[in-house]
Chains A and B, each alone.
Chain A
Amino acid sequence: NAGVMQNPRHLVRRRGQEARLRCSPMKGHSHVYWYRQLPEEGLKFMVYLQKENIIDESGMPKERFSAEFPKEGPSILRIQQVVRGDSAAYFCASSPSGTDTQYFGPGTRLTVL
């Protein structure tokens, strides 16, 4: 059973460009979570999604950030018009239900030039 997959592992964008981060949950998992680790900080919750639904987006910045988890395909975290402060490691986790252990992917390291 493959683990949580994230791609790309490293992403470089210039200020003003868009960043798209993908997360494929573990097989059988229908709950996806996104976390962000800013430099010198810990992991911070961003958003919790089930298939086609956003359950909790209380940790998402109000502007430029969006997330989706379509019926088919991976979950996508989209950052529009990136700024240098968006440079961070973005981790995805999945669980079979909302009450279980969350299993983490290897992260996408976004660098904004």
Chain B
Amino acid sequence: ILNVEQSPQSLHVQEGDSTNFTCSFPSSNFYALHWYRWETAKSPEALFVMTLNGDEKKKGRISATLNTKEGYSYLYIKGSQPEDSATYLCAFTPYSGSARQLTFGSGTQLTVLP
């Protein structure tokens, strides 16, 4: 059973604060690590997919790093805005032949207070 854990479970920050959260995943048999942003009543929105140790990806004020050797990824949000409020999910894909299922963490629920 693959274990993908995210912390913290929830987070409240003030507008303008920078914040980060963690995703830990099995370090063996790694294929890819995905980050999604999920607003209530909407589809999960793909942010990043990372495959190489040391990968860093950036999209606007959001960035992510990847350490496959120790099994963790960080998501950073710089200068949080109320519209950043959402649940941030990470998902792990192991290397397993033709299978490409995502195993999701339980998410970090971010609330940005104006």
Interface residues of A (CB under 8 A from B): 3-4, 31, 33, 35, 42-45, 48, 55-56, 58-59, 91, 95, 98-107
Interface size in chain B (residues, C-beta < 8 A): 21
Q: Which residues of A contact B107 (CB under 8 A)?
A: 42
CB nearest neighbor in B for A98? B100
A58 to B98, CA, bound (A): 12
Cβ-defined contact, A43 with B46, below 8 A: no
Cβ-defined contact, A45 with B34, below 8 A: no
The 10 closest A-B pairs by CB, nearest first: A45-B101, A56-B99, A98-B100, A104-B43, A104-B44, A43-B104, A101-B46, A42-B106, A106-B43, A101-B49
Among candidates B34, B43, B49, B99, residue contacting A107 with C-beta atoms closer than 8 Å = B43
